[in-house]
Structure 1
Amino acid sequence: MKLKGKHVVLSFVLFIFGFLVAFSYQNTKEQAEVIQLSQQEWEKDFYYRQQLLQFEEQSRELQQKVDTYRQEINTFEKSLGEQETAIGEYVEMKGKLQMLTGELPITGPGVSVTLSDADYIPSTENTNQYIVHDRHVQLVINELYSAGAKAIAINGQRIYKDSYVTCVGPVISVDGNQYPAPFSIEAIGEQETLEVSLELKNGVIDMLVSDNVEVEVGTADQIAMGARVN
């Protein structure tokens, strides 16, 4: 009985030992699997982090390109704005030149000069010495242009660069259109400058008066002249 009892005890101890060994092996195996799974997760995490870093680098590069393009666009818009401003100035300048050449109507302040034949003509004198001639009108026109007149008209008819003024008997012909005295010469420009130029000592008015021409100078706040009709 004692021997059997020892065998039973020994068997029981061996069983317990085997169980512990098996449990320890299984536990060790499970722990190894957990460690291996964590390694895979770490590798995935590392891969995703690398991808994220690449994406961030690409994003920075794209942002730099966007900033460069934005700067180029701003430069282009500024250049375009300057071109539009320049074009606007050219258009404005062209319009002013067209007004001066008569291609467009023009309005503005200015002066008027009226030339009339002498009221009194002595019977013993030559009548031609007491009437207005084309040279008198041309004298006034030249002086007004020299003083900066932008546009000039005679009896409402505008004068152009190729206009001509001639005497036809007792009347004056302007580009073929005849007008009797008195002759009203209007000029658009700086009023004070035009007046001072006409009234200079020994100037145009003095010369006209010495030729027995009656002269009257006035100002106008608004003078309108039409465009040339082709």
Structure 2
Amino acid sequence: MKVKGRHVIFSLVLLVFGFLLSFSYQHTKSDSQVIQLSDQEWEKDYYYRQQLINLEGKNHELREELNGNRQDIQRLEEELGKQEVTLGEYVERKQQLQMLTGELPIKGEGLQVELRDTEYIPSEENANQYIVHDRHVQLIINELYSAGAKAISINGQRIYKDSFVTCIGPVISVDGIQHPAPFIIAAIGEKNVLDVSLNLTNGVIDTLVNDNIEVEVEKKDSIEMEARIS
């Protein structure tokens, strides 16, 4: 009976030991799987982090490139704007020159000078001493040009640097076209400057008056002259 009791006790001990061994193996196997899964998750997390870092670096490069392109575009726009301004200035300057040369009509302030023969001529005097001659007209024209006149006309006919004015008896010929007295000389320019220039002491007006020529000067706010006919 004593032997059987020992066998039972020994069997129980082996059973408990086997159970503990089996439980320990299963627990160890379960912990190993958990650690293995944690390593995989860590590798995935590390991979995604690296991808995110790479994307952030690429975005930074793209932002830098975009800023550079914006600066280039702004610089090009500024250069184009300057070119447009320069081109506009050239066009405006060309038009101004065309107006001065007579290729285009011209309009502006200025003054008008009227020259008349003396109404009273003493019978014993030479009549030629009391009428307007081409030299009188030329004196006015030269003084006006010297004072900055941009354009000049005689009785509505525009004259130019190469125009010629001659006296044919009682009339004046301008580029072959005859004009009778009175002679109205119009000039476009700064009217006050032109007026002062003509009325200087011992100047053009005084000379004409001394030559028995009737002179009348009138400032004008607007004078128009047509373009030169080819």
How far residue 162 of structure 1 moved from its aligned partner, in angstroms, is: 2.1
| Identical aligned residues as a percent | 66
How far residue 3 of structure 1 moved from its aligned partner, in angstroms, is: 2.5
Query: Secondary structure at the residue paired with 2:215?
Result: strand
- Give the aligned partner of residue 140 of structure 2: 140
Amino acid at match of 2:58: Q
Within 5 Å, give how 1:142-221 maps onto structure 2.
142-221=142-221
Within 5 Å, give how 1:5-84 maps onto structure 2.
5-84=5-84
Query: Secondary structure at the residue paired with 1:227?
Result: coil
The runs of 5 or more residues in structure 1 that have no matched partner are: none
Within 5 Å, give how 1:119-134 maps onto structure 2.
119-134=119-134
**TM-score, scaled relative to structure 1:** 0.93
Amino acid at match of 2:92: E
Aligned counterparts of 2:20 and 2:228: Cα–Cα separation in 1? 122
Which whole-Å deviations, capped at 9, do the CAs of 1:147-191 have from their partners, x for residues lacking one? Answer: 111111111111122222112222111122211000000111111
The runs of 5 or more residues in structure 2 that have no matched partner are: none
Amino acid at match of 1:134: D
Amino acid at match of 1:225: M
Aligned counterparts of 2:52 and 2:14: Cα–Cα separation in 1? 56
- Give the aligned partner of residue 99 of structure 1: 99
Amino acid at match of 1:116: R
C-alpha root-mean-square deviation of aligned residues, in Å?
1.5
* Higher deviation after alignment, 181-190 or 12-21: 12-21
**TM-score, scaled relative to structure 2:** 0.93
Aligned counterparts of 1:125 and 1:155: Cα–Cα separation in 2? 29
Which whole-Å deviations, capped at 9, do the CAs of 1:201-227 have from their partners, x for residues lacking one? Answer: 111111112222111111111111111
Residue correspondences, number: 230
